[in-house]
Amino acid sequence: MATYSTNEFRSGLKIMLDGDPCVIVENQFVKPGKGQAFNRVKYRNLKTGRVNERTFKSGETVEAADVVEKEMQYLYTDGESWHFMDPNTYDQYAVSTEAMGDAAKWLKGQELCIVTLWNDVPLIVTPPNFVELEVTETDPGLRGDTSGGGSKPATLETGAVVRVPLFIDVGDVIKVDTRSGEYVSRVKD
């Protein structure tokens, strides 16, 4: 089994902590002049997304996490799982609703997403930073009011709800930033 010593620690390294795959966010070597050496590490648990701190004695070893990120195309959902395909190998992966998390509400099909695999099992799905989706439900638009003052909720074709400016109407296609969940612009036809 592959292991890393604290001397190999760097941000981005994937390691196993308490049985969960984690990624090092920040690694700092600390040592009081006459004291022991430690590595002070900030890490993100890849299953829960939570960031924690842990200090290691210099020279400690930890198990490597078999984690890879692959670009995959979203195909369809059968209601229980979300199906993706690796466009290079045509291998298909079924992703649980839990692993999909928030990504589910931005996808309608064909999008290229980053899928994080742990021991070849999908762990996290990261949707494209920007998606373009049609508005299926919102209060009637105030045409001509493009001043940007005020906003209202709008439901998109995937079921996601975002705040949009008052001039947006049902049938409009809008661009959304999936990282913040915020409206970016109306897509002109």
Partner 1 sequence: MHHSEHLRRASEAPGEETWRPAARLECLRLRAAVLAEIRAFFRARGVWEVETPLLYSASASDPHLASLHAAYHGPGAPPGGRRLWLQTSPELAMKRLLAAGSGPVYQICKAFRDGESGPLHNPEFTLLEWYRPGMDHHALMDEVVALLEHLFSALGQELGPCQRLSYAEAFRRHAGIDPHRADAAQLRACFLDQAGDIAAGVDPADGDAWLDLILTHLVEPHLGLEGPSFLYDYPASQAALARIRPGDHPGEPPVAERFELYLEGMEIANGYHELTSPREQRLRWERDRRRRRRLGLPDVPPDRHLLAALSHGLPECAGVALGVDRLLMVLSGAEHIDEVLAFPLSRT
CA dihedral (115, 75, 163, 144) positive or negative? positive
Q: Is residue 32 a contact residue for partner 1 (CB under 8 A)? A: yes
Tokens at 5, concatenated: 């010593």
Q: Are strands 121-126 and 67-77 parallel, antiparallel or unpaired?
A: unpaired
CB 170 within 8 A of CB 137: yes
Q: Give the up-direction half-sphere exposure of residue 53: CA atoms within 13 A in the CB hemisphere.
A: 5
* Interface residue with partner 1, options 3, 11, 31, 119 (CB under 8 A): 31
Count of residues in contact with partner 1, rule CB under 8 A: 20
* Interface residue with partner 1, options 3, 11, 37, 119 (CB under 8 A): 37
What is the C-alpha to C-alpha distance for residues 134 and 137, in angstroms, rounded to an integer?
Answer: 9
What is the C-alpha to C-alpha distance for residues 135 and 158, in angstroms, rounded to an integer?
Answer: 9
Q: Which is nearer to partner 1, 36 or 136 (CB)?
A: 36
Piece of 37-45, 89-97, 126-134, 160-168 that binds partner 1 (CB under 8 A):
37-45
Q: Is residue 30 a contact residue for partner 1 (CB under 8 A)? A: yes
CA 19 from chain centre, in angstroms, equals: 21
* Interface residue with partner 1, options 5, 28, 97, 146 (CB under 8 A): 28
Q: Which is nearer to partner 1, 58 or 155 (CB)?
A: 58
Dihedral pair phi/psi, residue 101, rounded to 5°: 55, -135
Piece of 27-35, 72-80, 141-149, 170-178 that binds partner 1 (CB under 8 A):
27-35
What's the one-letter identity of residue 101? Answer: G
Provide, rounded to whole angstroms, the least separation between the CB of residue 11 and partner 1.
13
* Interface residue with partner 1, options 10, 48, 50, 57 (CB under 8 A): 57
Provide, rounded to whole angstroms, the least separation between the CB of residue 65 and partner 1.
17
Q: Interface residues with partner 1 (CB under 8 A)?
A: 28-38, 40, 52-58, 60
